[in-house]
Amino acid sequence: MPIGVFDSGLGGLTILEALRRALPGQDFVYLGDNANAPYGPRPPVEIYDLTIAGVARLFEEGCGLVILACNTASAVALHDLQVNWLNPAAHRVLGVFVPVIEHLTRRDWGDNTPPTHTGLRDVALFATAATVQSGAFPRELRFRARDVTVVPRACVGLVEAIEAGELAAAALIARDHVEALLRHLPAPQSAVLGCTHYPLVEAAFRAALPRATTLVSQPALIAASLADYLGRHRRFEGGSGAVSYLTTGDPAAVGARARVFTGTALPFRSA
């Protein structure tokens, strides 16, 4: 059974690459909603509707499990999708926040005991405007860890520059956003790259942050979390390592732009 990977654009390819390394025998179907990217500036109701449409399309492809490799969709749409739309007996949808919060707080997601002192103090969050405005990340973090300061920064313009392949310009944008955040939180204990596009300019974030700050990037955490999940939910496993690529945009153009993320063009087909 293939596992679906959904993103608003091409940033989720950073997650898919990590998933394929961790689970080489698993089949995947990737769907980028490139016709509607980026999601960050969109209102919540649009993000919800677009996420539902993308997940439903992956269900049509035979995916029993879908990973929302889009932080904006995970922050804005996932909870309501799971509560009001999804039939968990038939399908499952997982987001990308949970593994990061588990990593930061050293607590399993199913641990619903009151928040404790985990040693975590100051966290910088770099994300899209919609992710920041949702408040989902600091809310979930504070359910598990006491006395944590979260300072978010909406990295306006960064996804657009990365999707356009303008990585030098994107690195400068990332640096500017780090410098702006550090004016409010000069020495964050941890910094989270809360968008799947941002690993492409991770070096720029790292160079602009204090050396003592731990930088948390999602792909490896998501891959390890999915491997653990499949160990407990074997019905979603299967395949021979096949991957297919769908897009709501122009397949040839999107496939060519994928080179920025993977180093090679990819055979996208129309969703």
Catalytic position from the list 18, 195, 200, 246: 195
Tell whether pTM > 0.75: yes
Handedness of CA 128, 181, 14, 213 (dihedral sign): negative
Mean pLDDT, residues 4-19 taken together: 96
Q: Which of 123, 240, 126 is nearest to 176 (CA)?
A: 126
Percent of the chain with pLDDT over 90: 90
The verdict on whether 70 is a catalytic residue reads yes
Residue 247 annotated as lining a ligand binding site: no
Round to whole Å and give the CA distance between 223 and 259: 21
The verdict on whether 195 is a catalytic residue reads yes
Residue 197 annotated as lining a ligand binding site: yes
Beta strands in 111-148 (DSSP E): 122-127
Catalytic position from the list 10, 15, 47, 70: 70
Residue 71 annotated as lining a ligand binding site: yes
Which residue matches tokens 């897009």? 247
Q: List the domains of the chain with CATH numbers.
A: 3-95+219-270 (3.40.50.1860), 98-217 (3.40.50.1860)
pLDDT of residue 117: 86
Q: Which helix (H) or strand (E) holds 208?
A: helix 202-208
Mean pLDDT, residues 19-31 taken together: 97
Residue 33 annotated as lining a ligand binding site: no
pLDDT digits (tens, 9 = 90+) for 149-202: 999 999 999 999 998 999 999 999 999 999 999 999 999 999 999 999 999 999
pLDDT of 256 > 80? The answer is: yes
pLDDT digits (tens, 9 = 90+) for 100-129: 998 999 887 677 788 888 889 999 999 999
pLDDT digits (tens, 9 = 90+) for 43-61: 999 999 999 999 999 999 9
Q: Which helix (H) or strand (E) holds 231?
A: helix 218-232
